Amino acid sequence: MDVAFDKEIECISVDVDSDSSRLLPSNLIDIIVDEISNCKLLLQLDLSENLLQGEISQNLYNLSNLVYLDLHHNQLNGSIPSTIENLSNLHFLNISQNTLFGSIPVTLGDLQNLNHFNLSYNLSSDAIPSIESIQKFGPSAFFS
């Protein structure tokens, strides 16, 4: 897959046809994120409902201008890394309905602009960190 993006693009939304998804590489999330990681001005990224598999690429956390990130209803696994704090402008984060597991990083509390957060319907069984800035989202943001 060869994808070229203008480095000044502000919004990307990807919708993979579910019938053709079995032809896609299992690391499509890495391919997409690696291709757009140079789009430093990117504000919105919606990769929801695309059957993306694997761990979330570390390059995603270099898109520091993102205000909207939607990865819900995929097959993403692994844990949320502490480098999520690099997304300091994030207002909206939906990573629900995946198979993410492990601890919720304390650095999530550093996202002071975060108004919407949803991690529900994942495998995370750890307690919600007692961080005031994420407690405001309530239990429904964390558990199914």
What domains are there in the chain, each with its CATH number? Answer: 11-141 (3.80.10.10)
Tens digit of pLDDT at every position of the chain (144 positions): 334 444 555 555 555 554 544 545 666 777 777 788 878 888 999 989 988 888 988 889 999 999 999 999 999 999 998 999 999 999 999 999 999 988 888 888 889 999 999 999 987 666 666 667 666 777 667 765
Give this prediction's pTM. 0.78
Q: What is the edge-to-edge ordering of all strands in the sheet holding 68-70?
A: 11-13, 44-46, 68-70, 92-94, 116-118
Q: Which of 30, 64, 29, 63 is nearest to 48 (CA)?
A: 29
pLDDT at 5: 47
Give the whole-angstrom CA distance, residue 134 versus residue 111. 9
71: Cβ contacts below 8 Å, ≥ 6 apart: 47, 48, 52, 56, 94, 95, 98
How far is 66 from 40, CA to CA, in rounded Å? 9
